[in-house]
């Protein structure tokens, strides 16, 4: 969420930027629940996003097609199991309800708009989003503020000091909490934004970034994705902006994400990330159009692209409010976030600038996203009292807002100069930069490590103002709270070179984990058993044990336990054991075989086994009659005790349970 500001009054060339500030009125109308018609030339169709259950996607698509709902694939949404369907705005709610009742459908939602410039979006329960191919631009001035809704918000200003009067103005408007598209028949000239009378405080120093950078001389290059309006490689960003992608619908150049000339928001965001993490590279993903708005389908594709390209930190400096009870709110973005987290990416998003304490912004409020709000120069929540105009403030809510960083900072413009910018868009960028710094200092830091380094070292809010879950980020502490100590496996069974046959229980015990400043370490998540260098099985709960089936092997087997903690560290314990499935050797050394017999007959045998012979047995007519534990293995048989035909067999047992049987001989009396 962004609020740019400058002391300069906008001249005629800034007409478009001034128009942004007039969107305040649209927010007030939407807050009152009023739906104002969109522009007359707006396409009445809206796009539904249909999420399909993974196991039934093709069948569900075909079944829905038979019922007249022909779902379309759209870019990288296919990777998320989502398809699209264009319907008329009047039928959207009815069609969505029908689709939700179909087997194999996981969710159905409108393709809503999110914004870095607070453009109004359609109300999400009864009315639909603007047409996908013709986004609505709405502008009006407020006539009044509904008494039971938050007041409309305007551009904010930072704490008071002086800003040069010739600095350019860049700006972001607040969001429309209810999402109704609005316009007016006649549009009055919007008032000039409030003049900035303040210079940015040192945001990096407030977060302890200089101290963090002094903690090491070796920093690895890490990739931070900026899903935004594009990034122009100017100033400090020159040479740091990687080739990216443009996922904006109907974009003239799908490959061009390094051109932010129409907006500047993405460039400002990227420059703050780069300021906090000098070694980081920026992966630009252009998902927001020239007005700083995007459909959720574009954002989801941008997140997916960033994750696929290996970005392990993804910055989302935009959002939109969604009222409680909205069907399937944020489901597509949740699916995209889950996809990114599955690839190990930390996802951060802006909480918003409307000074709300109840209305949640998405994607910041999605599960697995670190929601970032803004602080003043004292590290407290940036409120309307901090804004010279008394209008803007950072959103709050300990149930969904996680972290905070300075609301105002000095960022690059697309011209390569520094300008003061304010808003949680830039708070988020600073936190993303610190996240990059953590990984830059410890390249092995994984998702859990980075998230916990940020949240576990943040300066907690005062108990009397629990406005967010963890607090303001501290880079100097975060880069040090990284667990690089592997768990220690104290013992395992079977014993070294233990012989066994068939299946054996292999256990790891006496496991300890410590490191990274966490009591008891970061915590063991699971243990994996590897056999002869290949993964065999895993156990996710202590005590860790796996049943290993050796089949018919008769040799030394190399067992290895790998015990993983949440930080991705791996403790290893090797153990060689002997699989013995061959059975003992057994020889009939004396005594009749297939022959006529009488009286008492003596049988002798010879047996051996690496594990040791436990006994040799004499079976007569299918029944065990005698056994011998001694190495002589001698048996006497009184043939008078049996009938005319006697079936005789020797069997040897080794100490691991293998049995060797000789041929059955037939005696005749």
Positions annotated as catalytic residues are 228, 265, 425
CB 363 within 8 A of CB 330: yes
Q: CA 349, CA 661: separation in Å to the nearest integer?
A: 71
| Triad 9, 15, 17: Cα angle to 5° | 75
Query: How many CB atoms neighbour CB 480 within 10 A?
Result: 18
Q: CA 297, CA 333: separation in Å to the nearest integer?
A: 8
Q: Strands 293-295 and 245-246, how do they pair?
A: unpaired
Per DSSP, 187 falls in state: -
Q: CA 456, CA 450: separation in Å to the nearest integer?
A: 10
Retrieve residue 310's tokens: 């290996």
Closest CA to 350 of 69, 592, 2, 89: 2
CB 529 within 8 A of CB 537: yes
Q: CA 450, CA 345: separation in Å to the nearest integer?
A: 10
CB 521 within 8 A of CB 565: yes
Strand partners, 544: 508
Query: How many CB atoms neighbour CB 612 within 10 A?
Result: 11
Closest CA to 142 of 39, 35, 26: 26
Closest CA to 196 of 230, 229, 160, 233: 160
Q: CA 380, CA 391: separation in Å to the nearest integer?
A: 17
* Helix axes 296-308 and 331-342, enclosed angle (nearest 10): 0
CB 284 within 8 A of CB 258: yes
**Cα dihedral sign, 276-278-280-282:** positive
CB 301 within 8 A of CB 77: yes
| Triad 316, 183, 91: Cα angle to 5° | 75
Q: CA 419, CA 271: separation in Å to the nearest integer?
A: 11
Strand partners, 608: 585
Q: Strands 281-286 and 223-228, how do they pair?
A: parallel
Q: CA separation (Å) from 404 to 373, 389, 396, 590?
A: 5, 22, 10, 89
Closest CA to 457 of 484, 440, 438: 438
Chain centroid, CA 539 distance in Å: 22
Retrieve residue 235's tokens: 């100033």
Closest CA to 244 of 340, 309, 292: 309
């Amino acid at each position: 969420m962004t609020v740019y500001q400058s002391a300069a009054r906008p001249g005629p060339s800034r007409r478009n930027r001034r128009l942004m500030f007039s969107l305040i009125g649209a927010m007030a109308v939407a807050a009152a629940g009023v739906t104002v018609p969109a522009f007359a030339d707006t396409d009445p169709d809206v796009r539904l996003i249909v999420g399909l259950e993974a196991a039934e996607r093709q069948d569900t698509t075909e079944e829905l097609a038979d019922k007249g709902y022909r779902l379309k694939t759209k870019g990288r949404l296919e990777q998320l199991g989502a398809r699209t369907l264009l319907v008329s705005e009047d039928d959207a709610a009815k069609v969505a309800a029908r689709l939700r009742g179909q087997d194999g459908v996981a969710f159905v939602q409108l393709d809503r708009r999110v914004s870095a410039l607070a453009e109004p979006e359609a109300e999400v329960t009864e009315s639909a989003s603007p047409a996908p191919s013709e986004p609505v631009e709405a502008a009006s001035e407020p006539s009044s503020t509904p008494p039971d809704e938050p007041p409309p918000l305007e551009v904010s200003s930072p704490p008071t000091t002086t800003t040069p009067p010739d600095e350019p103005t860049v700006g972001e408007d607040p969001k429309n909490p209810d999402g109704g598209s609005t316009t007016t028949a006649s549009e009055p000239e919007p008032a000039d934004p409030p003049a900035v009378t303040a210079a940015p405080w040192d945001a990096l120093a407030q977060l302890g970034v200089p101290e963090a950078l002094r903690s090491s001389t070796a920093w690895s290059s890490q990739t931070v994705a900026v899903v935004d309006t594009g990034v122009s490689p100017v100033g400090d960003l020159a040479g740091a902006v990687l080739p990216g992608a443009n996922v904006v619908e109907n974009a003239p150049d799908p490959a061009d994400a390094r051109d932010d000339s129409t907006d500047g928001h993405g460039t400002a965001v990227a420059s703050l990330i780069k300021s906090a993490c000098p070694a980081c590279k920026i992966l630009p993903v252009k998902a927001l159009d020239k007005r700083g708005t995007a459909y959720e389908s574009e954002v989801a594709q941008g997140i997916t692209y960033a994750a696929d390209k290996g970005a392990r930190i993804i910055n989302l400096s935009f959002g939109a409010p969604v009222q409680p009870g909205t069907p399937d709110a944020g489901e597509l973005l949740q699916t995209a976030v889950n996809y990114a987290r599955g690839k190990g990416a930390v996802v951060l998003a802006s909480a918003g600038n409307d000074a709300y304490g109840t209305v949640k912004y998405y994607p910041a409020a999605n599960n697995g996203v670190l929601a970032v709000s803004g602080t003043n120069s004292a590290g407290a929540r940036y409120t309307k009292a901090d804004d010279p105009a008394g209008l803007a403030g950072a959103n709050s809510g300990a149930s969904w807002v996680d972290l905070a960083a300075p609301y105002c900072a000095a960022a690059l413009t697309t011209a390569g100069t520094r300008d003061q910018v304010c808003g949680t868009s830039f708070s988020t960028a600073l936190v993303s930069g610190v996240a990059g710094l953590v990984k830059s200092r410890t390249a092995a830091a994984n998702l859990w490590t980075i998230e916990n380094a940020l949240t576990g070292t943040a300066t907690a809010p005062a108990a009397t103002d629990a406005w967010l879950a963890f607090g303001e980020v501290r880079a100097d502490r975060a880069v040090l709270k990284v667990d690089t100590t592997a768990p220690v496996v104290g013992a395992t069974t079977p014993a070294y070179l233990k012989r066994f046959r068939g299946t054996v229980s292999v256990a790891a015990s006496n496991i300890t984990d410590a490191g990274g400043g966490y009591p008891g370490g970061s915590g063991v998540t699971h243990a994996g058993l590897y056999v002869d260098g290949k993964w065999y099985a895993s156990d996710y709960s202590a005590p860790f044990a796996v049943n290993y089936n050796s089949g018919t092997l008769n040799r030394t087997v190399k067992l290895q336990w790998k015990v993983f903690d949440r930080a991705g560290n791996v403790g290893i314990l090797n153990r060689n054991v002997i699989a013995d499935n061959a059975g003992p050797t057994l020889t009939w050394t004396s005594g009749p075989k297939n022959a006529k017999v009488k009286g008492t007959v003596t049988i002798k045998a010879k047996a051996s086994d690496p594990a040791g012979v436990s006994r040799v047995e004499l079976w007569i007519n299918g029944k065990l009659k005698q056994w011998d534990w001694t190495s002589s293995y001698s048996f006497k048989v009184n043939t008078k005790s049996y009938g005319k035909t006697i079936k005789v067999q020797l069997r040897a047992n080794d100490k691991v349970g293998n049995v060797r049987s000789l041929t059955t001989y037939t005696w005749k009396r």
